[in-house]
Amino acid sequence: MPFFKVKKYASFLFILFLGIGPVSAHVGSSGVLFQGQAGKYRVLVSLQPPDVIPGTAQVTVYVETGNVKTVMARPIYFRTGAEGAPSADELMPVLNQKGQFQGIVWLMASGATSVQLTLEGDEGISELVVPVVAISTAERSMPNGLGIMLSLLALLLVVLLVTAIGASASDGLLKAGIGLTPKQRRARWLNMALATAACTLILYGGSSWWDSWRDDYRKYAYKPLEGTTKVISKEGERVFQLKIDTASFVKQRQRTTLSFLIPDHGKLMHLFLVRQNTLDAFAHLHPERRDTTTFEAFLPKLPAGKYLVYADIVQRSGFTETITDTLEIPAFYGKALLKTDPEDTYVVTDPLNNPKVVPVDENVVICGKPGTKTMLKDGSSVVWESKSDAAFETGKPYQLSFEVFDPEGKAAILEPYLGMNGHAAIVKSDGSVYVHLHPVGTYSMAAQQSMQSRIDDTTRIYRYSNDTKAFRDSIDRYISYLKSIPPTERDALLMNSMTGHDMKGMEHKNRIEFPYAFPKAGQYRIFLQVKRNGQVLTGIFDANVTNASL
Amino acid sequence: MHHSSFYKVAAAAFPIFMLAFGRGIGGRWAMTSVMAVYMAILCLTLWIIPLFPAEPKLGPIWNHIDHYQGFAFPLFLIVPALAMDWTLNRYPYLNDWVMAALMSFIFVVLLLAIQWPLGSFLRESPYARNWIFGSHYDYFGNDPHWEYRFKFPPWVLQSTTDFGIGIVYALGFGYVSARIGLAWGKWMRKIQR
């Protein structure tokens, strides 16, 4: 199969030169928000994937600029590409909502997939790809009322069948006008008993069959990748270590999938550590791969305590995953001078609901609220543009916009950080919601790039290489190359790879916008990260989210 | 059709209905006519449906098709049916318990004699991949390059011993099925209208 071989290596090289963007993995909120430019049209796409596969994804398109007349949508899977995608269906305009289109897309199989949108309007035809991961995570139960109704109907059927069989063995054999003999009466009862037994057996068989399907579904339902984290000592320093648990997924998935990880923002893994409950200590690290399942990073000067761990990875297909755990970090020792990655950062702040207790540390930032100005470490400041008493509602897409000012109060000049002009991590107070956001939305840009290259490739079915080592090594070489070049050069390389977004126009703006919809009510903390004068700065904000008013 | 479970399922499922109708309807070739209708309906759907254009509207699409896909070539149940009709009429006064054993034997042996080679032909032969036999039709969600698309995968192949044991089970299932079918047919003749 020389044809496939050529394609295989071509896609290999493609990743190497492309660099590929970030991951936006998440916990607790499966919806995808995508903000970007489709040709001349600026759109915000909200995509709610189904929690049971096969199922339908809800797609809503908000056209922000441009006059779009029709929007078509179709699912494109990584394995089968654009050639293996059905023709598109139209998303219908929402009544009385100008520039808003809504519809569904069927996702028939699990895996890395995407929704391709075709917009047609005054500015011609434009296309756009929103990556999404199709997985079964939920188990539906039958509504009680329906269950009772169906049981009663089934009981009626059984009674009818038993009676009919009893009658057919007795009354059915009689000529008109003749009564049953005692022997025939006995035969009727005997047949009814046999019929009851047969019906019970059939019902039992049906129930076993149903249960076996349920077990099958459970077996193949998506289970998040699991890992165990701990702090070890190396060179007299505290070192974070994550070991991905392969035993848990080896039964249903190929062991090799971990060999097909691709970098996102030039890093193989993005690790976020947040101190549990108080959310007053935060680190964004980039562990290095020691072997296929082991990742390690030097810990910065984080205070001791129990931390929530979120580790994001992306697979070749664009399948994104977040490994979660909790980790007990011991009291600080060593010098904390060693960094695994020059772009590893940490910050401490005041505890949630206890703003007076400001810790003493070289990396302290006071947590801000909507509408307030917050000082950053180097004297510059961030303003969250919002009303100060703003309460956010669940499920509504918001533009979280931040403006950064230099110490003189003028608009700050932002440098790209990991190839983007800003990053944000949002964590809910109980740790049940976590998302790594970019100004373009809540989706994985690595996944989007992967999907875009897959669409441009006309191979009908993508075949994974058997040579996992070659793939892994090529990725490792690429990452160490990225690490070896100066930061400005690296960011230029990463930014160039992000085609299809208006990143370049935003390069020197001091305003950053993140589209996000809070999935559930509660307290959230937003960790905003920007780069100025070669220094990564973290701003922290609290947000209160209430249930959407109906 | 190279695995004994096919014969087990067939022996359990078919004789009960064949004999119920065969005896219930009466007539010399009742089972044969029923099976002829079954074959005709399946062949006609196999031959007519693919004439209409169609495209898959759901993804992912593995097998690229532009017309409806036929179902499958029917089972040659007409062959055991012919022999069973003949036997039922040749020995009308035979005890039903003996008759059931005879019917099961005829059904399983003749089905095996015809479906084993037919199964090989349909699965493996390039001459089966045409509109008459329809072996080339496939679901849009199946990989058309699957290595066992036109081969028997190793996990459906049995050792001769296992297959033989399976056939003995099939004869047993056929016996029970045939006996119930005979009783059912007898009852249907007695029913008053």
Find, among A14, A13, A19, A12, the residue nearest to A479 by Cα.
A19
- The whole-angstrom separation of Cα A438 and Cα B191 is 77
A178 contact residues in B (CB cutoff 8 A): none
Is B59's Cβ below 8 Å from some Cβ in A? yes
Phi-psi group of A19: left, alpha or beta (phi > 0 → left; psi -120 to 50 → alpha; rest → beta): left
**Mean pLDDT across A297-301:** 93
Q: Do A84 and B62 touch (CB under 8 A)?
A: yes
**Mean pLDDT across A268-297:** 92
Nearest CA-CA distance, residue B50 and chain A, Å: 19
- The whole-angstrom separation of Cα B11 and Cα B9 is 6
**Mean pLDDT across A200-217:** 93
**pLDDT per position as a tens digit, B154-173:** 888 899 999 999 999 999 99
Preferred mutation among A105, A461, A463, A464 to probe B, highest tally of B CBs within 10 A: A461
What pLDDT shows up at residue A506?
A: 46
What pLDDT shows up at residue A171?
A: 84
A79 contact residues in B (CB cutoff 8 A): 60
Q: Do B60 and A79 touch (CB under 8 A)?
A: yes
Q: Do B60 and A169 touch (CB under 8 A)?
A: no
Nearest CA-CA distance, residue B79 and chain A, Å: 31
Pick the residue from chain A with its C-alpha nearest to B192.
A173
Inter-chain CB pairs, A–B, below 8 Å: 59
**Mean pLDDT across A227-249:** 88
Sequence-distant contacts of A92-96: CB under 8 A, at least 24 apart: A94/A60
Residue B5 has pLDDT above 60, yes or no: yes
- The whole-angstrom separation of Cα A463 and Cα A471 is 13
Residue A452 has pLDDT above 60, yes or no: yes
**pLDDT per position as a tens digit, B77-87:** 999 999 999 99
Nearest CA-CA distance, residue A167 and chain B, Å: 11
Q: Do A80 and B64 touch (CB under 8 A)?
A: no
Find, among A9, A19, A30, A62, the residue nearest to A399 by Cα.
A62
Phi-psi group of A65: left, alpha or beta (phi > 0 → left; psi -120 to 50 → alpha; rest → beta): beta
Cis check: omega of the bond before A370, within 30 degrees of 0: no
Pick the residue from chain B with its C-alpha nearest to A105.
B58
Q: Are A357 and A366 in contact (CB under 8 A)?
A: no
**pLDDT per position as a tens digit, A518-532:** 888 999 999 999 988
Preferred mutation among A4, A80, A454, A463 to probe B, highest tally of B CBs within 10 A: A80
The first and second tokens of residue A354, run together, are 């206890």
What pLDDT shows up at residue A496?
A: 66
**What is the band of A31 on the pLDDT scale with cuts at 50, 70, 90?**
confident
Is B193's Cβ below 8 Å from some Cβ in A? no
Say which of B58, B187, B192 has its CB closest to residue A175. Answer: B192
A195 contact residues in B (CB cutoff 8 A): none
Pick the residue from chain B with its C-alpha nearest to A86.
B57
What pLDDT shows up at residue A514?
A: 86
Q: Are A318 and A444 in contact (CB under 8 A)?
A: yes
**pLDDT per position as a tens digit, B110-127:** 999 999 999 999 999 999
Tracing tokens 């999935």 back to the chain, one arrives at: A519
- Residue A181: which residues within 8 A CB-CB, separation 6 or more? none
Q: Do A75 and B59 touch (CB under 8 A)?
A: yes
What pLDDT shows up at residue A498?
A: 58
Between CA A79 and CA A85, with CA A84 as vertex, the angle to 5 degrees is 110
What pLDDT shows up at residue A9?
A: 38
pTM recorded for the entire structure:
0.78
**A379, containing H or E segment:** none
Tracing tokens 């080592």 back to the chain, one arrives at: A469
Nearest CA-CA distance, residue A180 and chain B, Å: 14
**What is the band of A363 on the pLDDT scale with cuts at 50, 70, 90?**
confident
